Amino acid sequence: TQLLEQSPQFLSIQEGENLTVYCNSSSVFSSLQWYRQEPGEGPVLLVTVVTGGEVKKLKRLTFQFGDARKDSSLHITAAQPGDTGLYLCAGVGSQGNLIFGKGTKLSVKP
């Protein structure tokens, strides 16, 4: 069974701090996707990482795909209250469906 484990489960920080959240698996994934979900809404895609070792930047967000394509991380620099939300990683499973981690719930206080 392919599983994606995310850590930490919860994170509460002050505005301006940096943070990193992790997505790990014992399985290899051809690519990983990161989504953010805000209360009352569906998840929205942030980025897809495809190549082992790949680093992608989206403004203050930096995404990295592990060399072995089993893990990924998301680093946020100088977090803002607007970054508050549930961050989910997802990978394509062996049967073609997207498998999601349980997410990291981030709260950024002003």
Partner 1 sequence: KAGVTQTPRYLIKTRGQQVTLSCSPISGHRSVSWYQQTPGQGLQFLFEYFSETQRNKGNFPGRFSGRQFSNSRSEMNVSTLELGDSALYLCASREGARNSPLHFGNGTRLTVT
Q: What is the closest distance, in whole angstroms, from the C-beta atom of residue 52 to partner 1 in the complex? A: 16
Q: Which is nearer to partner 1, 10 or 16 (CB)?
A: 10
| Cα–Cα distance measured from residue 28 to residue 2, given in angstroms and rounded to the nearest whole number | 9
Q: Which is nearer to partner 1, 24 or 31 (CB)?
A: 31
Angle at alpha carbon of residue 14, lines to 44 and 18, rounded to 5°: 65
- Residues of the shown chain interacting with partner 1 in the complex, contacts defined by CB under 8 A: 30-31, 33, 35, 40-45, 48, 88, 90, 92, 95-103
Q: What is the closest distance, in whole angstroms, from the C-beta atom of residue 53 to partner 1 in the complex? A: 19
CA dihedral 93, 94, 96, 98 (to 10 degrees): -10
Q: Which is nearer to partner 1, 66 or 103 (CB)?
A: 103
SS3 81: helix
Q: What is the closest distance, in whole angstroms, from the C-beta atom of residue 88 to partner 1 in the complex? A: 7
| Cα–Cα distance measured from residue 31 to residue 47, given in angstroms and rounded to the nearest whole number | 10
Structure-token match 């051809």, residue found? 30
Q: What is the closest distance, in whole angstroms, from the C-beta atom of residue 29 to partner 1 in the complex? A: 10
